[in-house]
Amino acid sequence: MRHLPAIASAYQRPDTRQAIAQILTSFVPFAALWVAMYLLLNVSLGLTLLLAVVNAFFLVRIFIIQHDCGHQSFTASRAANDVIGMLCSIFSLIPYRYWAKSHNFHHGHNGMLWEHRDIGDITLLTVDEYSRLSFWGRLRYWLYRSAPVLFVLGPLWYILIQNRLPLIRFKGWEGARRALMRHNLLLIVVYTALGLFLGYKALLWIQLPTLIFFGIIAVWFFYVQHQHETTYKAWKDRWDYVRAAIEGSTYYDLPRLFHWLTGNIGYHHIHHLNSLIPNYQLARCHRENPVFERIANRITFWQSLKTLFNHLWDEQQQRMISFREYYRRYRNKD
């Protein structure tokens, strides 16, 4: 596996033409659908919400552009990346600089079992950690890992509350926290102006459903990419970056249309191997190097549904297990 970073590095050069094309094919359809939703709002609320589902995918594309800008991989210009990323964050509501810093933290610690594993990631306990919890502690974790909380309430909390508060208090994060506060003020100004111009009821019924569906899609993809059964988890002193990238991430094998709609984030094993590769180069890197097809944790959509039952990391078996399997296998040890 040690030769894989060298292979991936050949694809990390940004392409201005492809970047511009992705901006146009993301923002133009998003704006067109947004206008269509506004015009249809008094005609059919159901049709408006149906368009919100479609537009949520274009918001995912916009967010992937923001994501790449945070990695400084979308264009060759740092200034352009920052301007584009900030623009995207107005639509996604995800704060550009603060989120980018926490996400880069996730890249540097993906699959690492240590006290800050929840930063930029979904909280996961080991079997031993879960067994030492009180009844109420287990109940809280059980509720947290349930599908309604993770994929319905969770996205709302993450977008509307968690990313509005400077919860990470590490030394050196002062600039990121100030940027978050500036982003909050920017959102207040922009959405107050939109509400005054379009009407707050219309804004609520158009933007909020789009954000909700966007959040569900984004959280689902992130979950599938790191919570598969044979993922990689290791304690800090034994953690390996390359293994965490390849074994700890999935290749989410979807129809080409859905790869396009989600900015190729399904090629997550390559993205974690080298976060400087722009999203529009990920598929080519995978396709032109058969080694990635051989070693990737390939998972289809139907196979990904099984990950809903992955709740705990079993260090003995080196795999994810469900609560049901935990109580069947370890109940007598509690």
Q: Residue 3: which pLDDT band, with cuts at 50, 70 and 90?
A: confident
The neighbour count for residue 156, using CB atoms within 10 Å, is: 15
Q: Residue 20: which pLDDT band, with cuts at 50, 70 and 90?
A: very high
Query: Given this model, what pLDDT does residue 61 score?
Result: 98
pLDDT averaged over the chain? 94
N-to-C CA span, the chain: 39
Q: What is the mean pLDDT of residues 195-206?
A: 93
User: How far, CA to CA in Å, does 163 sit from each of 112, 126, 166, 183, 232?
Assistant: 23, 26, 7, 10, 27
Query: Given this model, what pLDDT does residue 169 score?
Result: 87
Dihedral, 244, 275, 149, 113 alpha carbons, nearest 10: 30
What number of CA atoms fall less than 13 Å from residue 255's CA on the CB side? 4
The tens digit of pLDDT for each residue in 267-289 reads 999 999 999 999 999 999 999 99
Structure-block tokens of residue 284: 């080519």
Query: Given this model, what pLDDT does residue 334 score?
Result: 53
Q: How do the domains of the chain map onto residue ranges?
A: 4-333
Query: Given this model, what pLDDT does residue 120 score?
Result: 85
Contact indicator for 214, 58 with CB cutoff of 8 Å: no
The tens digit of pLDDT for each residue in 225-282 reads 999 999 999 999 899 999 999 999 999 999 999 999 999 999 999 999 999 999 999 9
- d(Cα 175, Cα 315) in Å, to the nearest integer? 38
Structure-block tokens of residue 143: 């509720």
Which residues are paired to 103 by β-bridges? none
Is the pLDDT reported for residue 116 higher than 90? Answer: no
DSSP reduced 3-state for 250 = strand
The tens digit of pLDDT for each residue in 285-302 reads 999 999 999 999 999 999
Q: What is the mean pLDDT of residues 95-122?
A: 91
Is the pLDDT reported for residue 332 higher than 90? Answer: no
Note the helical H segments in 146-198: 147-148, 154-160, 174-198
Q: Which H or E element spans position 283?
A: helix 279-288
The owner of tokens 């569900």 is 216
Q: What is the mean pLDDT of residues 52-61?
A: 98
pTM of the model: 0.94
